[in-house]
Amino acid sequence: MPLTDVDRITTRRIGNADSWTLRSYLDNGGYAGLRKALQIGREAVHEEVNKANLLGRGGAGFEAGRKWGMLRQADPTYLVINGDESEPATFKDHMLIEGDPHQIIEGTLITAFAIGAAQAFIYIRGEFALGFERMQQALNEAYEHGAVGHDIFGSGWSIDVVIHPGAGAYICGEETALLESLEGKRGFPRIKPPYYPAAIGLYGAPTVVNNVETMSNIPWIVVNGGDAFAALGAGRSTGTRIFALSGHVNQPGNYELEMVKPTFRDIIFDPRCGNGIRNGNEVKIIIPGGASSPWFGPQHLDVPLGQDEVGKADGVMPGGGGSMLGSGSIVVMDETTCPVRAAWRLVRFFERESCGQCTPCREGTGWLSKILYRIETGSGRREDLDLLYDISDNIIPGMPWPYPMTTICFLGPSAAVPTVSAMQMFRDEFLVHVKDGGCPYE
């Protein structure tokens, strides 16, 4: 059984009594990483994170240490933590925010120290009411503890951290829309170039934007060393990751597993994880890395849970390429699932969350959603399949993975991807919908 028994890193305190309080955090080694960081200095911290080869846990999987190194030298620079987790079936950050807010704050402080940020902001999804409360409570405690604010732990280094709740828009999880939102503006993603906030970010200043789970790894890496982290996993995918497993598995939940070692089959069927499909059913669809990732099928069950392993798998997109591990959320659907309805449900989410800024997304997501709904409800036409392909092609020309796009950000393409995936894998079922004038699963 390749499901390894390594110690958990980011979720190791989850489940402790009052795990979100400073008392509980300190009792379990809290703020040791920050103290050590202040001692060894910012270059040494950066070096440990580089050695760890920690990939960003927000979805794109960019090396955290490299991102820090890209920060344009200027005064001021900012650190922004993205806690706007809002995608369907992604719920790992939610757990970290509610269960171990101090770990996020500690990681934030270490990172801010390492990059020399003037101020740090933690942006929390507006709907996380309890998470926001616990985060703010933890920050208040951290201030009292001397871990945040003026002259932290007597080191002479000072920084303020601000927690900011979002206002209910998925798009604000896109890092440049998040920055706009943080600046008090409408959450429109910024047009690229500049490609990275490390050049022009918050208030025009160079900014590092990191994910909550990424931050949760930092204290452990500083305490235990980057090499210890890099010893876990394989290839580019080091350490552990939280996989948010949901769908038709018997035991959905967040599972922190060593990267690359387990496969989709392991996480779905191991009794310590998914424990198999309900009623002993078969796997039909796997969404490997969040709602915007190209779908996998049963043929991908033995793909290891690693960044490149998933990225370079033999996937379903017509233009070629695999899929992505993305945010680490895995959705499993069994043979009772209508692929048309599943695609429509995902596309409808992106339609509703489209910010409306650029044309292909604003109009294309709605159009895709309307056609899928028509097919699902029995008003589909044979030519609708070609139409769906063509609309998708006008959003992600050529439909390869990874894709070029006619949009400003990845939201529009995220609607085209499940549409195309579903048609690629289940063209016959689409045709049945059209021919029978309705959904055979109804």
Which chain residues interact with another protein by CB under 8 A? 169, 171, 186, 191, 193, 351-360, 362-367, 370-371, 374, 387, 390-391, 393-394, 397, 404-408
- One DSSP character per residue, 175-233 reads HHHHHHHHTTS--PPPPSSS--TTTS-GGGS-EEEEEHHHHHHHHHHHHH-HHHHHTSE
* Cα gap 179→317, rounded to integer Å: 32
| CB-nearer residue toward another protein: 7 or 390 | 390
C-alpha distances out from residue 106 to 37, 113, 219, 344, Å? 10, 10, 7, 41
Choice between 64 and 375, CB closer to another protein: 375
Report CA-CA distances (Å) from 202 to 104, 118, 133, 214, 281.
20, 12, 24, 20, 49
Partners of 287 in the beta sheet? Answer: 331
Residue 203 CB, shortest distance to another protein, in Å, is 17
Least separation in angstroms between CB 190 and another protein = 10
Under 8 Å CB-to-CB from 338, ≥6 apart: which residues?
376, 429, 439, 440, 441
Q: How far is the CB of 191 from another protein (least distance, A)?
A: 4
- The nearer residue to another protein, 160 or 363, going by C-beta atoms, is 363
Closest approach of another protein to the CB of residue 345, in Å: 16
Our CB check for another protein shows the closer of 53 and 407 to be: 407
Burial track 202-239 (b if 16+ CB lie within 10 A, e otherwise)? beebbbbbbbbbbbbbbbbbbbbebebbbebbbebbbb
Q: Between 314 and 386, whose beta carbon lies closer to another protein? A: 386
Query: Considering beta carbons, is residue 112 or 178 the nearer one to another protein?
Result: 178
Nearest approach, Cβ of residue 276 and another protein (Å): 38
23 vs 266: CA distance, rounded Å: 36
Closer residue to another protein (CB): 309 or 351:
351
185 Cβ contact list (under 8 Å, min separation 6):
none
Give the nearer residue to another protein in terms of CB position, either 183 or 227: 183
Contacts of 102 (CB under 8 A, 6+ apart): 20, 22, 25, 30, 31, 138, 141, 142
Least Å distance, CB 352 to another protein, is: 6
Minimal distance in Å, beta carbon 387 to another protein? 6
Structure tokens belonging to residue 49: 């994170």
Q: Least distance from C-beta 362 to another protein, angstroms?
A: 6
Q: Find the length of the chain.
A: 442
Kindly state the DSSP code that residue 239 receives in the 8-state scheme. S
Among 110, 107, 118, 117, CA closest to 40: 110
